[in-house]
Structure 1
Amino acid sequence: MNHATDLLRSLYTMAMMVEARDAYTGGHLWRVSQFSRCVAEAMALDEVSVARIELGGFLHDLGKVGIPDAVLNKRDRLTDEEYEVIKTHPQVGADLLHGHPLAALALDAVLLHHEMPDGRGYPQGLRGAQIPLVARIVGVTDALDAMTSSRPYRAGMPLARALAIIEDNMGSQFDAEVGRVVLQLGQSGVLEHIVGHSEAGIPLQACGLCGPIIAVPRRVADGGEIYCPSCTMTYAVSRRGVALTLAATGITAPVVARQPVPDTDLIDDMVRAAYRALPQPPAVPKRGLLARLLG
C-alpha cells in the first residue's frame, strides 16, 4: 500500500498482540472501536474525527503489555495492590506510543480513557471538559463492553442493564453527552451486532472446559482448528452459513495455543477504513503526508 498504511498497520498489530495475551477479552478492542465509531457518527462528527476515535478505541489498552500475566489473566477479583498495577496501563501505553509517527492520532484515547467527569479517574484526575472527547467516548464504550462481556468470576450482563448503569452514573463516572448517545444507540438496537462478537458477524465462543472466551478469526474455515488461550484445548470449527460451533478434540496444544497471532484480515479491514477517512493529498512527500495526518 504505502508508508502511511504501514504505520497504521503497525499500531493495530501492536494492540492486537497485547490483546492476545489476555485469555478473557478476545475481541474487546474491536468491540470498543466499533462502539466508539457508532457514537462518533451519531454525534455527527466529521469523518476524520470518526476515524481517529475508531482508531483510539482499538488502541486504548496498548499499555496492558506492561501488566504481568499473573494479574492480567487472574481468574479471581483483583486485590487493591493488583488494581494499582492495572492502573499503570494508560501511562505505559502513552510511553509505548512515544516516538511513533502517528502517536498523536491515538494518544488521548490511550492515556486518558480512564479519566472521569468528577475528577476521580486516572492517571491525571482531569474533570469534565478537560477530558478530550475521544477519551470521553472510549471511557464509556470501554465500560460498556466490560459490563456486557463475561469474566471467569461473573457472566456478562444484558445490554439493557449496562445501559441503566451508564445512565445512573452520567456526570460522575461517565460523560453525560456521550452517555446519552450510547443510551439512544443501545435502546434503538444499533449496538446489538457488536455486543458479544469478535468482529462483524462472528459471535464469541466459550471454552466448555475452563470458561474463557474464544474469538474465532474469519480465516479459520469449516473443519479448521482453534485453541482455547487458557487451557489450550484444541477445538474443531464447524461453519454452516452464519452458524458457528466448536467441538473439543480432547487434544491440548500448549505451544500453539499460547502463541499470539494477530488477525491480519481484521487489521487490514481496520487500516483500509482508517486510511480512507484520513486526509490524503494526492501527491506529497511522505513527511508532508504524516504532517497532514497529525494536523
Structure 2
Amino acid sequence: MQWSSILRAPWRTNPEPQRQLLASLLQLAWVVEARDPYTGGHLWRVAQFSRLLAQAAGLSEAEVARVALGGFLHDLGKIAIPDAILGKKERLNDEEYAVIRTHPESGLRLLGAHPLAQLARDAVLLHHETPDGNGYPYGLRAEAIPLVARIVGICDAFDAMTSTRPYRAGMPIAKALSIIRLELGRQFDAEMGELFLTLGESDALAHIVGHSDEGIPLERCLSCGPTIVRPREAHAGDALYCPACHSEYTLAAGGAGVLPSGRQDPARALSIAPDAALIDRLVEQHRAALV
C-alpha cells in the first residue's frame, strides 16, 4: 500500500505561523479534555499510541506526525457535550450515548475553516467508524475509512479500555489486547490492529498507559482514583486538584505522589490553564507535520 498518498500536509509556507496555529489547536483540545473529569491525559496517550502505530506501519516522519496530531485532536467535538453527561459517574443510557455520538460532527464544525483543519479533519470526524460498517457518524466500511481514522480509532479504544472510570477499573493491557484481537476486521482494522497487537505484546505501550506525559503517571485521588494530572514543571508543595470531586492535593517532595490537604476548591479545580510546556513540546515533536 502507498501510504504517502493518504496523508498530506495542508500547506507549505513559513513554518513559524503554522506552529503558532498548531499550538492554538492543541490548547483548544487540552481545554476540551479538561471538561471531562475522568479522561486526564487521554489525548496525550492516544497521540503517543497513534505515533507508535504509524511508525510500525512504515509511514514517513511527516505522516507519523500528522497521525499523532490527529490522535491529540480527535475529541475536539466533546466541547458540545453537556457536563452532566461528560461527568456522569454511571454508565450512559441510550439517550446519553446518542448525545455522545454527536461529538465527531461537532468537532468538524469546531475545526471549521481553520488553516490547519486538514491535519485533523479525518481523525476528528471518522475515528468512530469501524470496518464492519457499524460505526458512526456515516457507517463507512473497511478501506473507505481513512488510514488516520483507523489508527486513531484503535488507539482511542485501547486507551478507553485501559483507563479507570467511576464504574470500573482500567483493564490490564493483556485483556484489552485480547478484545482488540477478537474484534479485528469488525470494530478494528485488521492490518493496523495486528501491528498494534505486536506493539502491545512487545511491551511498547506500557510506559504510556496510565500516564499524562512521558514518565509521569496520573496521581490518585483518594475518592476518585487516578484522575489528577501532574504537570512536568510542578514543584513540591504545588496545589493539584481532582477534576471530579475538586479535592485539593499538594505535590510531595521529589514528586513522589500527592498529599491530600483536606480542602476542596471547585473554582481552582475547574479553571486550570492549559499545560503550555507540554503543548510546546508536542508542537516541537510533531513539527514535521507542518513541512
TM-score under structure 2 normalisation? 0.93
CA distance in 1, matches of 2:93, 2:119: 34
- Structure 1 184/81 Cα, relative in aligned 2: closer, same or farther at 3 Å? same
Matches within 5 A, 1:1-295: 2-211=16-225, 213-240=227-254, 244-279=256-291
C-alpha displacement at 1:137, in angstroms? 0.3
Q: Which amino acid aligns with 2:37?
A: A
C-alpha displacement at 1:239, in angstroms? 4.3
Q: Which amino acid aligns with 1:103?
A: A
Q: Which amino acid aligns with 1:220?
A: A
Cα deviation per residue 1:108-152 (whole Å; 9 max; x = unaligned)? 000000000000000010000000000000000000000000000
C-alpha displacement at 1:238, in angstroms? 1.4
* Residue of structure 1 in register with 2:8 after alignment: none
C-alpha displacement at 1:2, in angstroms? 2.2
Cα-Cα RMSD: 1.1
Q: Which amino acid aligns with 2:279?
A: I
Count of residues in Structure 1 that have an aligned counterpart in Structure 2: 277
Higher alpha-carbon deviation: 7-16 or 213-222: 213-222
Q: Secondary structure of 1:22's partner?
A: coil
Is contact 1:20-1:261 (8 Å) kept? no
Cα deviation per residue 1:246-291 (whole Å; 9 max; x = unaligned)? 1101111111111142111110001111214531xxxxxxxxxxxx
Q: Secondary structure of 1:156's partner?
A: coil
Instruction: Provide structure 1 residue ranges, at least 5 long, that are not aligned to the other structure.
Output: 280-295
CA distance in 2, matches of 1:277, 1:93: 20
Is contact 1:23-1:212 (8 Å) kept? no
CA distance in 1, matches of 2:288, 2:132: 36
**Structure 1 vs Structure 2: percent identity of aligned residues?**
57
C-alpha displacement at 1:213, in angstroms? 1.0
TM-score under structure 1 normalisation? 0.92
C-alpha displacement at 1:225, in angstroms? 1.2
* Residue of structure 1 in register with 2:5 after alignment: none
Instruction: Provide structure 2 residue ranges, at least 5 long, that are not aligned to the other structure.
Output: 1-14
Q: Which amino acid aligns with 2:241?
A: Y
* Residue of structure 2 in register with 1:287 after alignment: none
Runs of 4+ displaced beyond 2 Å: 209-212
Q: Which amino acid aligns with 2:64?
A: V
Q: Which amino acid aligns with 2:49?
A: F
Is contact 1:17-1:262 (8 Å) kept? yes
C-alpha displacement at 1:98, in angstroms? 1.0
* Residue of structure 2 in register with 1:283 after alignment: none
CA distance in 2, matches of 1:209, 1:224: 20
Q: Secondary structure of 1:65's partner?
A: helix
Q: Secondary structure of 1:7's partner?
A: helix
Q: Secondary structure of 1:2's partner?
A: helix
